Amino acid sequence: MTTRLTLEGTGSYLHLFQPKAVGNAGDPKYSMQLVFDPGYDYNNINAAIQEAIQEKFGANVPANLHLPVSDPMQNPKLASNAFYHGGKYYINCNATQENPPELVDKFGQKIIDPSQLYSGCRVVASVSFYGYDTMGNRGVAVGLNAVMKLADGDRLDNRPDAKTVFADYIQDAPQGAPQQAPQGYAPQGAPQGAPQQAPQGYAPQQAPQGAPQQAPQGAPQQSFDPATGQPINPQYRQ
């Protein structure tokens, strides 16, 4: 049985909206590096790793298994980044194209704006630990089920925040400015008494054939001679 955990940390190298192949090889995947704070309690992670090993390999545990918890100081690229210093460790989490992770904010609302999830924000992730044995590669991997953004943090990609960059130029919206409908909401209906237009793509309705036509309001009514049945022209009436 795959062990699931909910883990909190800092998100890095996020590819959560568009899958990407590692090293431009293999199947594209959604991925995220989850970096743990110094002093993090790894007992639940170590227990999940052991359960995954026993479930996959039983008593015949192969040597040199690839395990998911990594020391950034063993990676020259990460070791040169001060963010990874101070006793931090990380795991790489992945999801297939067919099963993308669900992304929500701290209110449980879905995140659809990629700019809201970036390297450096604080997240909590639902992950699954499982063993694998593929073409001689054996170990424990971490599947990514869902991500919740908890808070903003210092960006690790050095990309400046627009509000900070333009702080001296940002102005308050003028009072009394017309309010636009929020994006994603339908416009409000026409006020009562306003003429109704036919829905787009439909022809306007007509009166059914054979229905009596009403004379316009204020138009003179036609009179008929009761003896002959002929219409009487009002301007020649005696």
User: What is the residue-wise DSSP string for 178-236?
Assistant: PPPPPTTSPPPPPPTTSPPPPPTTSPPP-PPTTPPPPPPTTPPPPEE-TTT-PEE-GGG
Q: pLDDT of 69-123, one tens digit each?
A: 999 999 999 999 999 999 999 999 999 999 999 999 999 999 999 999 999 999 9
| CATH number, domain with residue 115 | 2.40.50.140
User: Is 65 exposed, middle or buried, given 0-12, 13-18 or 19+ CB atoms closer than 10 A?
Assistant: middle
Percent pLDDT > 90 in the chain is 59
Domain membership flag for residue 113: yes
Query: For the segment 171-208, what is each residue's pLDDT rounded down to a tens digit?
Result: 887 876 555 544 444 444 444 554 455 444 433 444 44
Q: How many CB atoms lie within 10 A of CB 69?
A: 15
Residue 97 domain-assigned (yes or no):
yes
Does residue 228 belong to any structural domain of this protein? no
141 neighbors 147 (Cβ within 8 angstroms): no
**Is residue 46 over pLDDT 90?**
yes
Q: Is 182 part of any domain?
A: no
Does residue 8 form part of some domain?
yes
Do the domain assignments include residue 169? no
Range of 137's domain?
Answer: 3-161
More confident residue, 205 or 146: 146
Number of domains present in the structure of the chain: 1
Question: Residue 214 region, left (φ>0) first, then alpha (ψ -120 to 50), else beta?
Answer: beta
Q: Tell me if 37 sits within 8 A of 180, measured CB to CB.
A: no
8 has a pLDDT exceeding 80: yes
